[in-house]
Structure 1
Amino acid sequence: MYHSQFYVFDGDKPIPVTIRNYTQEDFDQLIQIQSECFPPPFPSELWWNKEQLSNHVTFFPEGALCIEVDGALAGSLTGLCVNFDPNHMEHTWEEITDQGYIKNHNPNGDTLYIVDISVRPKYRKLGLGKLLMQAMYHVVIQKKLVRLLGGGRMPGYKKKADTMKPDQYLQEVMAGNLKDPVITFLLRCGRRPIGIVKDYLEDEESCNYAALMEWKNPFFIK
């Protein structure tokens, strides 16, 4: 199981941080974090429920991580294992994550697929999302998987959809001509895009598109 303690800095002040696996005792707080990260008009029925969270810690506890800042729960990152064929990339978030219930978790899969990442808004200046992602890279290495993968929303695309296709928008973000809140963050985490999928998630800001963002295990040997 995962347990790492270190410090982050708020200005010049070091603050103790712990990344660990979340457990049943954290469920209420994890649902509260979802409500803060995805406030109305985002539908509350799409926040985590306790059945989903129970499945996460039962089917793949290694992929259920949370982060504490000075003892307060500040965010979480959840994944499952799947087999991924780069030649057949089309899928939806609901299909590949079993609508967040991860009953399709494959212990023999070659890819750790990100289900969700959430960080309380008041803690986002501390870079906790990147730290959670790096912790999940450790899981990929430990389990000797090929890659970490997930669909990245493109919430800036709606404003550009009249003038460019989604792949052109992604290219502009990659070139540094545009900044996207999600894709730019994932690039900063070390992920790289391998393709665009349509109808990935009902997401008006992204026009339902997502960029598949990959991190390859540098120690993986075929």
Structure 2
Amino acid sequence: MAYRSEFYAFDQEKIVPIVIRNYTKEDFDELIQIQAECFPPPFPSELWWNKEQLTNHVTLFPEGALCVEVGGELAGSITGVCVLFDPAYPSHTWEDITDNGYIRNHNRQGNTLYIVDISVRPKFRKLGLGKCMMQSMYQVVIQLRLDRLLGGGRMPGYHKVADHLTPNQYIDAVIKGEMKDPVISFLLKCGRTPVSIIGDYLEDEESLHHAVLMEWKNPFK
């Protein structure tokens, strides 16, 4: 089912039109450019989206391939995949659960919408687009009657305090408001709640390779 939502956001006092919709093959070049802007060098360019991955997104699970436009300009995207998740066995890596971003493991009988990636162009990051796209994915969860939305959140502030805090202590401090983390605090504002800490989730020196598995439960299930 096609997704399209039109609304307005405020850029200080300026009102700007916003559209969230499914991305298509016509958007691929711009989506790759957005990745380049969001993950500039020294981040390796081979880890940006490639056209094979994007083609899989729009053919295997188009419902989970959403982008956002600001005044007609593509400003960001969010991508998901359906998986069968057992809360009793939460540990996994990003590569395994997303098929390294190719989502060939997409499971139409899955119970969970797993977030593969979310990116917003730096110049648009004050508009709250990330939260808007996340809320759109919650609507997809409800439409598809899934149990939850799930994803591993990086904790890039952790390396600054890792000498005296464990990952769990760090997340507890963020939840209590004693610290702020660029990613985890954002996900909390989006309504996501922590499930568990996962080690060796992703090659990520800032997070010391940890991630926080965070979910949003379908309130109608």
TM-score of the aligned structures, taking structure 2 as reference length: 0.99
Q: Separation in 1 of the partners of 2:161 and 2:37?
A: 27
Counterpart of 1:107 in structure 2 is: 108
| More moved, 8-17 vs 177-186 | 8-17
Q: What is the aligned partner in structure 2 of residue 55 from structure 1?
A: 56
TM-superposed deviation, 1:194: 0.6
C-alpha separation in 1, matches of 2:87 and 2:163: 29
The 2-side partners of 1:39 and 1:205 are apart by 16
Q: For residue 196 of structure 1, what is the aligned residue in structure 2?
A: 197
Letter in 1 for 2:116: V
Q: Which residue does the alignment assign to 2:43?
A: 42
Letter in structure 1 aligned against 2:54? L
Matched, 1:175 2:176: yes
Distance 1:157 1:80 in 2: 27
SS in 1 for 2:206: helix
Q: For 1:171-196, what per-residue CA distance to the aligned partner results, in whole angstroms no more than 9, with x for missing partners?
A: 01001001000000000000000100
For 1:123 and 1:181, locate their aligned partners in 2 and report how far apart those are by CA, in whole Å.
16
SS in 1 for 2:171: helix
Q: Distance in 2 between matches of 1:214 and 1:126?
A: 23
2:151 aligns to what?
A: 150
Aligned length: 220
* SS of residue in 2 equivalent to 1:130: helix
**Which of structure 1's runs of 4+ aligned residues deviate more than 2 A?**
none
User: C-alpha deviations, 1:134-179, integer Å up to 9, x for none?
Assistant: 0000000000000000000000000111111101100010010010
User: 3-state SS of the aligned residue for 1:96?
Assistant: helix
Among the aligned pairs, what percent are the same residue? 71
Counting only pairs closer than 5 Å after superposition, residues 64-213 of structure 1 correspond to structure 2 as 64-213=65-214
Task: State the alpha-carbon separation in 1 of the partners of residues 178 and 50 from structure 2.
Answer: 39
Residue-by-residue CA offset, 1:81-136 (whole Å, 9 max, x unaligned): 00111110110000000000000000010000000000000000000000000000
Q: SS in structure 2 opposite 1:138?
A: helix
TM-score, scaled to structure 1 = 0.99
**Pairing 1:216–2:207 present:** no
Other structure's SS at 2:200 match:
coil
> What is the CA RMSD across the aligned residues, in angstroms?
0.4
Residue 200 of structure 2 aligns with an amino acid whose one-letter code is D
- The residue number in structure 1 matching 2:7 is 6
3-state DSSP of counterpart to 1:122: helix
Comparing 150-159 and 8-17, the one that deviates more: 8-17
* Structure 2: gaps (5+ residues): none
SS at match of 1:18: strand
